[in-house]
């Protein structure tokens, strides 16, 4: 979707100036938000793609005014209410008022290290062969869905070259909306800077993205 999260190439937001000494957390509450998000995600009621889409749906003014972990908090509240684990009134009051849904599983303290080290791999076996190969010239599709997508706005309707076939992975555009994993081949596609940014772009630069197969058309 074209939401406030998709800022690639947008003007007026200033330079990206990383802080080499930035701490992992700026306050204790941020640490707690990370723990809450991971433990609630372990309930098994939603997947990472639905979680991302919940963040994307935060109203633009609220999203752009929020810090990183404030965005996580607001999306988690939406997911907890959507899946019956807490009502908006309970979230506001901090007290239980009705019986919540029963999670499929609970993340316990003694299992956290093992769960985090295992991660959540999203590569999947696929019987079909890749439609594209390294060196193929392709064009990304031009679409503006209201639903979740991993194709950024700045890279739509652009011509590039497939650099590598990365494997088959869960298709987030479907997975975010309960339509199944529907894995597709994923490709690294490289674009000249001028193709992305237009006249005046640095000719020595390129931009690469990882693109699911259905985002691409052969030239």
pLDDT (tens digit per residue) in 95-151: 999 999 999 999 999 999 999 999 899 999 999 999 999 999 999 999 999 999 999
Contact between 98 and 152 under an 8 Å Cβ cutoff? The reply is: no
* pLDDT band for position 178 (cuts 50, 70, 90): very high
Greatest pairwise CA separation for the chain in angstroms: 61
Kindly state the helix (H) or strand (E) to which residue 206 belongs, with its residue range.
Answer: strand 206-212
b vs e for 74-88, b when ≥16 Cβ sit within 10 Å of the residue's Cβ?
bbbebbbeebebbee
Ramachandran class of 84: left when φ > 0, alpha when ψ lies in -120 to 50, beta otherwise: left
d(CA 140, CA 156): 5
Query: Which tokens go with 163?
Result: 């650099």
d(CA 53, CA 172): 10
Give percent of the chain with pLDDT exceeding 90.
Answer: 90
Summarize the confidence of residues 71-88 as an average pLDDT.
98
Summarize the confidence of residues 27-36 as an average pLDDT.
96
pTM exceeds 0.85: yes
Query: Which tokens go with 45?
Result: 């009621």
* Tally of CB atoms within 10 A around 110: 7
Contact between 40 and 101 under an 8 Å Cβ cutoff? The reply is: no
Question: Which pLDDT belongs to residue 15?
Answer: 84
Question: Which pLDDT belongs to residue 172?
Answer: 98
Q: Which domains are present in the chain?
A: 28-118 (1.10.472.20), 137-218 (2.30.30.50)
Query: Residues 6 or more apart from 78 whose CB is under 8 A from it?
Result: 54, 57
Question: Which pLDDT belongs to residue 10?
Answer: 84
């Amino acid at each position: 979707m074209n939401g406030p999260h998709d800022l690639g190439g947008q003007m007026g937001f200033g330079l990206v100036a990383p802080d080499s000494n930035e701490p992992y957390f700026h306050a204790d509450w941020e640490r707690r938000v990370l723990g809450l998000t991971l433990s609630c995600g372990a309930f098994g009621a939603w997947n990472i793609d639905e979680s991302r889409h919940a963040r994307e749906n935060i109203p633009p003014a609220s999203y752009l005014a929020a810090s990183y972990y404030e965005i996580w908090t607001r999306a988690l509240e939406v997911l907890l209410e959507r899946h019956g684990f807490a009502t908006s009134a309970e979230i506001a009051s901090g007290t239980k008022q009705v019986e919540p849904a029963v999670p499929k599983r609970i993340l316990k303290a003694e299992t956290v290290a093992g769960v985090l080290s295992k991660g959540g791999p999203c590569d999947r076996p696929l019987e079909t062969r890749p439609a594209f190969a390294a060196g193929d010239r392709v064009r990304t599709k031009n679409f503006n869905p209201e639903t979740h997508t991993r194709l950024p706005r700045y890279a739509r309707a652009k011509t590039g070259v497939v650099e590598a076939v990365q494997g088959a992975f869960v298709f987030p555009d479907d997975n975010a909306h309960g339509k199944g994993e529907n894995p597709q081949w994923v490709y690294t596609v490289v674009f000249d800077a001028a193709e992305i940014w237009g006249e005046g772009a640095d000719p020595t630069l390129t931009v690469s993205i990882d693109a699911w197969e259905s985002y691409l058309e052969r030239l």
